[in-house]
Chains A and B, each alone.
Chain A
Amino acid sequence: MSRNNDDKINWRYAVLGLLAGLAMLVIVPAKAEYADVIINNYADAAGMRPVVFPHWFHRIRFRCKVCHADLGFKFKAGGNKITMAKIINGQFCGACHNGQISWSVENCNMCHSGIPGTPTHIHGSTVQRLVSPPYKPLKARVQQPPQTNK
């Protein structure tokens, strides 16, 4: 196939093709679960890890209507302005996470389990993938802070 008229392999094009293939391999998609919501309205500022809400876990146990109609959760990541005070008052998550229907609020780090600095978003959403890919910290910025001119 990849031979010239001289019957010799054309290495230039073979290498180009190989590079193209390698570049495809470099792009590694995230493995995280579709529809998981990361909520970081106030968590980072309060010194807590952001909250990860797994839709898959809750949808096995409750229909969408329970939270999105009865409890008043809006269809918008970060759009509910949930605070711990509201949860303890029995609003939002606190309607079930009160020690009666589900475990109570003392299990802080079961919800507050995201990597610090992750912005509010729905994981794997089409909007996120097309319009605004989730923020990823730049390695260079983390490892060595920029030095000033003297």
Chain B
Amino acid sequence: MSQQLRNKLYGAFIATLLVSSPAMSASNAGVVERGNEVISQADLPMMVAEVSAANTFNRNLHKEKDPNAPPPEDGYHDPENEGTHVLMPPKEAYVGLPTTDFGNHVDWVKALDEGKIAPRWDRSDPTAEPFVMDLDIVRPVKASVPDVVFPHRQHTMWLACANCHPAIFIPQKGANQINMSAILLGQKCGVCHGKVSFPIMTLTCKKCHSKPKPADWTPPLSEASLKNPWR
């Protein structure tokens, strides 16, 4: 029992070290050149790197305490600027809107569906209505995660066809190679998702990967498995 606990604690400590490693990655060059003068490292003040925001992606870390902080307290609006204090705090606008656990903590699609918000389709004409196309596209996924269903309805409520077609997605079956790496790096779905529309996190996988695999589905065997002489 005590041995197990000891192992667990060691594990936790090593995890902590990994998490805080960006803070330790200060440069260790002995001498720094600044113009014509050469400064030795000993004379430079100690540079303490702040922990980078990359760590907030770790799902084991604490949740944001106040996700919709008013502008003067949000960390990038300048509190010394008069205009900052005139701006509307998000929470005031979010009263009565359906909530989620991610992004702005508002379910924007639901809010629009329920008529809680009425954003204009045209800049100056409040009566203009969008052309909504209700067409679901099912994209089979090679991996064992559920297949992706892309709903045109929710997207055409907000966007025009030309926003995505043909620059981001070629409107043709099988013409678009999409993978999560590309999305995480801001391509394909990642042009909006992970930036302005719902973020890409463990919580939101199943928003896209929503269609269970067929009952007879088995994971495809890898090349290495197929060539394995002992198989």
Residues in A lying within 8 Å of B, measured CB to CB? 1-5, 10, 13, 16-17, 19-20, 23-27, 29-36, 38, 49, 52, 54-57, 59-66, 68-71, 75, 95-96, 101, 107-116, 118, 122-131, 133-134, 136, 138-141, 143-144, 146-149
Which residue of the partner chain, among A38, A66, A113, A141, contacts B121 with CB atoms under 8 Å?
A66
- Could you count the A-B residue pairs with CB atoms below 8 Å apart for me: how many are there? 242
- Nearest chain A CB to B29 CB, angstrom units: 13
Q: A56-B90, A57-B93, A126-B200 are in contact. Are A23 and B195 (CB under 8 A)?
A: no
Which residue of the partner chain, among B19, B93, B120, B196, contacts A35 with CB atoms under 8 Å?
B196
- Nearest chain A CB to B114 CB, angstrom units: 14
Q: Chain B: interface secondary structure?
A: loop
Residues in B lying within 8 Å of A, measured CB to CB? 1-2, 5-6, 9-10, 12-13, 15-16, 19-20, 34, 37-40, 43-57, 60-62, 64-69, 71, 73-78, 81-84, 86-88, 90, 93, 102-104, 106, 108, 117, 119-124, 130, 157-160, 162-163, 184-186, 190-192, 194-196, 199-201
Nearest to A77 among chain B residues (CB) is: B195
In Å, the complex CA distance between A30 and B158 comes to: 28
- Nearest chain B CB to A7 CB, angstrom units: 10
- Nearest chain B CB to A23 CB, angstrom units: 4
Asked if residues B106 and A56 are in contact (CB atoms below 8 Å), the reply is yes
